[in-house]
Amino acid sequence: MELPDFMKYSDRFTRSDFVEKISRIAKRAGAKLVYVALILYYTLQSDKVSVKDKAIIIGALGYLISPLDVVPDAIPIVGLGDDLAVLVYVLQKVWGDVNEEVKQKAKEKLSKWFDEDEMNEIGDIFTSDPS
């Protein structure tokens, strides 16, 4: 799968649109997508992240929010696959900036929307550990 130029979506990112979209699609998207999105969202708020990394995070989160995806979100099952691919790609790029506090904060928020079985779904974010 070829990833789109998600940086063109950076102007679509706002904190309020992100929270609204995540809460609306949480159950349909699955815990893994929401967890990755929350990690990026909380990493974006860190003052230890470079401007360059913040820019690519904003682009990826803007792509998630945007209704103009390569594969429209309305298509069952595969509709959010491109979103997850973009988010995981960017998370791999910024993984060195993700600390345990960010991961814990994301898990705490996730636990408000998902039950224990669904939380187990997040498992290993990457097919191979980036660290």
Q: Which among 67-71, 86-90, 120-124 has the top mean pLDDT?
A: 86-90
More confident residue, 30 or 39: 39
Which stretches of the chain are DSSP H helices?
15-29, 31-44, 51-65, 81-94, 100-113, 116-119
pTM to 2 decimal places: 0.73
